[in-house]
Amino acid sequence: MHQQLLDLIDKAQIDIAQCSSPNDILNAKALYLGKKSYLNTLFSQLRELSAEERPAFGQKINDARTKIEELLNFKEKALKTQNWDKQNAGVKTDFSMPGIMPERGGLHPLTIIMHEIEDTFLSMGFEIAEGFDIEDEFHNFDALNTPKDHPSRNLADTFYLDNGKLLRTQTSPVQIRVMENFKPPIRIISPGRCYRNDKPDPSHSPVFSQVEALVVDKGVSLADLRDTLQNFAILMFGPNVKSRIRPHFFPFTEPSAEIDISCVNCGGTGCRVCKNSGWLEMGGAGMVDPNVFNIVGIDPEIYSGFAFGLGIERITMLKYNIPDMRILFENDLRMLRQFR
């Protein structure tokens, strides 16, 4: 059997050397390395040897396979080089000709705005905190003072998973985890994706991006919230933009408010974008409810804080005058190429 193996390698060297086309290489691979090749036959004959002889001879078979594979790979590369030389014989190369530049890519408009928002808040002294897309009911609802019968906890609004898990409906759980693990003062933003059981339309999507801000310290007031929002609006949309807050209700803030900015399209005079009101809704805000502080172990008698949330898609649509949110998710190259 040892001599048969040596003869096989010698024959393979001769046959592979005579290969003159890719088809010959394929035939040689089938003959010497295929399922019905002689090498595989030798493997099946190993049981005829003694237990002491099997390891050594098995190693020799593997070495022979490696040798044949190297011969085949070397011959295959040589044939490719020969074919290229034949095809390009007599062809002159002008090295002064400019090369073909690959098409440049670019960031998605949502990513551009996300980076701009992060830079804006960083310049205002905030830090960035990130969390999990898959959350539990405690951090997504209970710790945010959301009652069991609240509509947002229904299957019609939230994507539930197994074992009490769900896809987060907001980035507020990040704020809860930060307050659980860090003592005030706290000054963070939490950008990320959120998920709600919404039917896609010009202003809604089941997957959307959000950035929320949280400030917790001694003596934080509603005036601090108003000033922070105004500074953000000016840095994002220019010095002429104005902001306002209107009374509203959210389970995790008290008092609660809605955030508006003056229309960036008409400057507040009234147009189709702002429905002739002169104002655009941006998100929700308010002072952190004392019940939330109690849940995370922060004394509401000593500390106060505010929080607000903004939709990234909403800001992107305003910045780039995009009329329909679905355009942001269609991956139309005609639109995306504008942001290279």
pLDDT at 106 over 90: no
Residue pLDDT, tens place only, 242-263: 889 899 999 999 999 999 999 8
Pick from 146, 142, 141: which is nearest to 169 by CA?
141
Separation CA 96–CA 77 (nearest Å): 29
Residue 19 CA, distance from chain mean position: 49
pLDDT at 69 over 70: yes
Separation CA 28–CA 234 (nearest Å): 72
How far apart, in Å, do the first and last CA atoms of the chain sit? Answer: 66
Looking at 1.20.20.10, 3.30.930.10, 3.40.50.2020, 3.40.50.720, the CATH number of the domain 109-339 comes to: 3.30.930.10
Mean pLDDT of 4-12: 79
* pLDDT bracket for residue 89 (50, 70, 90): low
Residue pLDDT, tens place only, 117-157: 999 999 999 999 999 999 999 999 999 999 888 888 888 88
DSSP annotation of 183 reads P
Residues 6 or more apart whose Cβ sits within 8 Å of residue 275: none
Q: What is the pTM of this model?
A: 0.68
**Can you tell me whether residue 101 is helix, strand or coil?**
coil
Instruction: List the domain boundaries for the chain.
Output: 2-87, 109-339
pLDDT at 91: 66
Question: Do residues 166 and 160 make contact, with C-beta atoms less than 8 angstroms apart?
Answer: yes
Q: What interhelical angle do 2-17 and 54-87 show, nearest 10? A: 0
